[in-house]
Amino acid sequence: MVIPCIDMKIILIGAGNLATQLAVALQKKGMTPAYIYSRTRESAEQLSERLRDVPYSTDISQVPTDGDLYIFAVKDSALLDLVSRMPSNRGLWVHTAGSMDMEVFAPYTARYGVFYPMQTFSKERETDFDDIPIFVETNHTDDTERLQKLAGRLSTKVYEATSEQRKYLHLAAVFACNFSNHLYALCDRILSEHGLPFETMLPLIRETAAKVADMPPAQAQTGPAIRYDKNVIDKQMALLSDPTMRQIYDLMSRSIHETNKH
């Protein structure tokens, strides 16, 4: 039996990585979404079963119009199309995107905003929302307060941020998460090509991440690039056969050195 949200009827548009983890977190707090829309039946069924048989549809025109809150947790590229085909209703429409302005909703509904949990999500890896910063914004003060209360039931870190501020949050997150993870992937390639396991890097990765909780990242920086030790840098660049990886190594080393100088 589905236990609906105590305060509001939540309709979830999407069943991907973020949508799945957000739905699970909401259910744990007694706020199970009342309905799920997904473009694909497989994703909708999986999430429905995970939430103990929440009703779902793959037809956006079948989404209920009596919801209080409609959370669009979909890819940026799919958002505009879905919003334009969404049945008209009086609920609050919010998206979860980092780079999209909340005004994408303006031509289609009177109440709208953003509910942006800044974290990397995977369907298979359950996420603890308690420490995740959630950034909210709406076009009405009353709705902002409602959204803050909802966010406050999931996380201890709730902030107001404008669409302009959120663009820079998302940009910073790309550097902190996506780029750093890509560097892990390149690291894994180097190690695997020479018969070494990636797990040997895990203590180093954990300590590097832990240090920036106690000191500014620039202060935590170590390695040959700080002093631009050309002898070490040239030798390591010579080990890289991939020209793209050499470019990355060179650019990163120069950036570290210039940042350290300032």
Summary mean pLDDT of the chain: 94
Lowest mean pLDDT among 101-105, 119-123, 252-256: 119-123
Instruction: Delineate the domains of the chain, giving CATH numbers in brackets.
Output: 10-161 (3.40.50.720), 167-261 (1.10.1040.20)
Question: Does residue 3 have a pLDDT over 80?
Answer: no
User: Per residue in 176-197, is it b (16+ CB within 10 Å) or e — as a string?
Assistant: eeeeeeeeeeeeeeeeeeeeee
Question: Does residue 7 have a pLDDT over 90?
Answer: no
Could you tell me the two tokens for 10? 């939540």
Question: Does residue 160 have a pLDDT over 70?
Answer: yes
Average pLDDT of span 178-207 = 97
Helices and strands: H and E segment counts in the chain: 10, 8
pLDDT in tens, 62-72: 999 999 999 99
pLDDT of residue 124: 85
Closest CA to 2 of 74, 53, 64: 53
Q: From CA 227, how far away is CA 261, in angstroms rounded?
A: 9
Q: From CA 103, how far away is CA 91, in angstroms rounded?
A: 16
Confidence of residue 245 (pLDDT cuts 50, 70, 90): very high
